[in-house]
Structure 1
């Protein structure tokens, strides 16, 4: 729980009493590798904090191909945010790439926490803004960078991805085929 409280405290300074209260609203959750936190068509009623592990968010296109949107790692929040905010079925799947330890808060508890500690609303806004920024960067990357530039950016910004994530998921995230990724890797390692 201390990682969760620390993450919130870095954005909005919390009193010792507020730090203790936050823990009462979140529940621990464990999810095994390859299991799903949520599947397409379900309603997302929770936001999760990743204490340990890595998850992948993806959807399936009209051809049934999986399109990876992003990965979530330690000390990050994850949810099917559109479903959470609009209370509509999600189009996304969230799958554990490793065994994960999480803390979850459901919609009602998040509202209660926000009432009890009003500055949590600032934290919620910052999380939403960060999600928007990440999605904007991803769209820009896919539209303006070459496949090689996208791959080099991942190597530079997230080298753990290359080591810990199956290559077909990396390729999907980059918007290329696994075969193209293999060619890029050979080209770059020469």
Structure 2
């Protein structure tokens, strides 16, 4: 009987980028998480990325002007909660989005805004905000091609949020809009003032109060 040949050593393949989530990449790039598995990011690319980040501790009520034409920035909330709003043609404050912990926001260019007005970000709680200039981010993509994976996943996330907002605005009944909001953003109800949720839902505060009190919901 011939001797058995030894089995070949197993081949260890690097982790496929297709199996990586935006949450994992965010932990690696925006937090100090050395144990996070993201082997396709070099130490140099992570270091250079973090050197471009500007972190601010902002009190409740602080407002950031989001002027994409002057300096377009990507924002990330490490902690706290904020709302994005603009002023419509009548000068009314309209809430267009909410941002909570571990979420990104990229201001829209003028052509994509809901009105010919600047957008603003208001802190509804004490917050830690991280900002990165988009032109610096694009330079990082050029210098470290592996960072393009983060950019692709981020764009997919932002596109999904835009699609969710469009679908949400197409819900005709106020009761159904409120039910959908409660289902998708349960935690916001206890942290965001009623008037801002009402504005986001295109409702009056009194109508929203009535809907919240309805036993059918």
TM over 0.5, shorter chain: yes
| Equivalent residue, structure 2, for 1:144 | 171
Say what the alpha-carbon RMSD is for the aligned residues. Answer: 3.1
The one of 7, 11, 28 equivalent to 1:6 is: 28
Q: Between Structure 1 and Structure 2, how many residues are aligned?
A: 185
- Higher alpha-carbon deviation: 16-25 or 154-163: 16-25
Q: Measure, in 1, the Cα distance between the counterparts of 2:161 and 2:38.
A: 17
Q: Measure, in 2, the Cα distance between the counterparts of 1:152 and 1:184.
A: 9
TM-score (norm 2): 0.72
SS state of the match for residue 184, structure 1?
Answer: helix
Q: Does 1:58 align with 2:85?
A: yes
| Equivalent residue, structure 2, for 1:46 | 73
Q: Measure, in 2, the Cα distance between the counterparts of 1:21 and 1:37.
A: 25
| Equivalent residue, structure 1, for 2:7 | none
SS state of the match for residue 52, structure 2?
Answer: coil
* Deviation (angstroms), 1:19: 3.0
| Structure richer in helix, relative to its length | 1
| Equivalent residue, structure 2, for 1:113 | 140
* Deviation (angstroms), 1:3: 8.5
Which has the larger Rg? 2
The one of 114, 121, 129 equivalent to 1:94 is: 121
Q: Measure, in 2, the Cα distance between the counterparts of 1:142 and 1:10.
A: 38
TM-score (norm 1): 0.81
Gaps of 5+ in 2: 1-23, 31-35
| Equivalent residue, structure 1, for 2:161 | 134
Q: Measure, in 2, the Cα distance between the counterparts of 1:3 and 1:52.
A: 17
Q: Would you identify which runs of 4 or more consecutive aligned residues in structure 1 move more than 4 Å?
A: 7-13, 39-42
Contact 1:11 1:123 in 2 (8 A): no
Q: Does 1:162 align with 2:192?
A: no
Contact 2:65 2:120 in 1 (8 A): yes
Q: Does 1:71 align with 2:98?
A: yes
Deviations 1:125-167 (A, max 9, x none): 3322322221222122221252112212222221111000000
Gaps of 5+ in 1: none
